Structure 1
Amino acid sequence: MHPRFLLALTPLLFTTVAHAVDCANANDQGTMNQCAAEQYKAADKELNTLYQQITKRLKDNPDAKKLLVSAQRNWVAFRDAECEFSTSTVSGGSVYPLIYSLCTTNLTKARVETFNRYLTCEEGDMSCPVPGA
């Protein structure tokens, strides 16, 4: 990389780091939207971590793994469609990103709870699709 390019990026790097968002005291719509989006990203990251754990446990059962992949794709489609529907009254408004992110966060957290249950099933639980560790 050329040194002048790095010097040109330096102000951007410091600006980004210096502008930390205080979500606990968010008092404008833009900040609230950003904080809600960050909450969703955190929930989605947790969901993806659990999904990877489940797929590892299903490595010896390709049929179950295929069903999980299908279920998760369908769940994502449901989540997105449900949130589009439930936020349709504010579509196009400045509050839309906040309300949409809250919806996706809540549904994602519910899915996280489901995945956690799958990962902590009791030995011999025939209703559990994920084998124990």
Structure 2
Amino acid sequence: MAAQAATKPNPLPPCDRARAERGVQSAMNFCAHRDYLKADRALNVQWKKTAAAMRAMDRGDFVPDDGRPTYFDTLLKSQRAWIAYRDAHCASAGYQARGGTMEPMLVSFCLIDVTQERTKQLRELAESPE
């Protein structure tokens, strides 16, 4: 009977279990990366909405001919700059465990944070009045 209790499966999903048990680093790295991919998917969904909103503003009734870039062009330029920032910033965040097994997890945690913040910024931009 003791053997059955020892082999009883943990009811938590693998990533929740890895967090709860402070498990194997490779599992925690995998789970952190999976969470980043989820945040990245949410950002991409919001990007499409915000890009559409900026393109709509470019087609609006009052678009000054002042020689400056369009709403969408400015958004695209800022997104490209943000991606460069994200990558460099999160690489440096990983250096807290440079070369160690925790480094990928720290990078993923950073990627999650900055991606969620950028998603919020894009959402607010799309919702702002012209």
Instruction: Please classify the TM superposition score into its range, dividing by the shorter chain length.
Output: 0.7 to 0.9
TM-score (norm 1): 0.71
Note the residue ranges of structure 2 that are not aligned, 5 or more in a row: 1-12, 59-68
Q: State the match for 1:55 in structure 2.
A: 51
Structure 1 residue 85: Cα displacement:
1.6
Q: TM-score, normalised by structure 2?
A: 0.73
Distance 2:123 2:52 in 1: 14
Runs of 4+ in 1 over 3 A off after TM superposition: none
Tell me how far 1:111 sits from its aligned partner: 0.7
Q: What is the distance in 2 between the residues matched to 1:52 and 1:86?
A: 28
Between the aligned residues of both structures, percent identity stands at 28
Given residue 24 of structure 1, which amino acid in structure 2 is its aligned partner? D
Q: What's the counterpart of residue 44 of structure 1?
A: 40
Superposition RMSD on alpha carbons, in Å?
A: 1.6
Name which of structure 1's ranges 90-99 and 51-60 shifts more when overlaid on structure 2: 51-60
Runs (5+) with no aligned partner, structure 1: 1-20, 126-130
Deviates more, 1:32-41 or 1:58-67: 58-67
Say whether the 8 Å CA contact 2:50–2:123 is kept in structure 1. no
Q: How many aligned positions are there?
A: 103
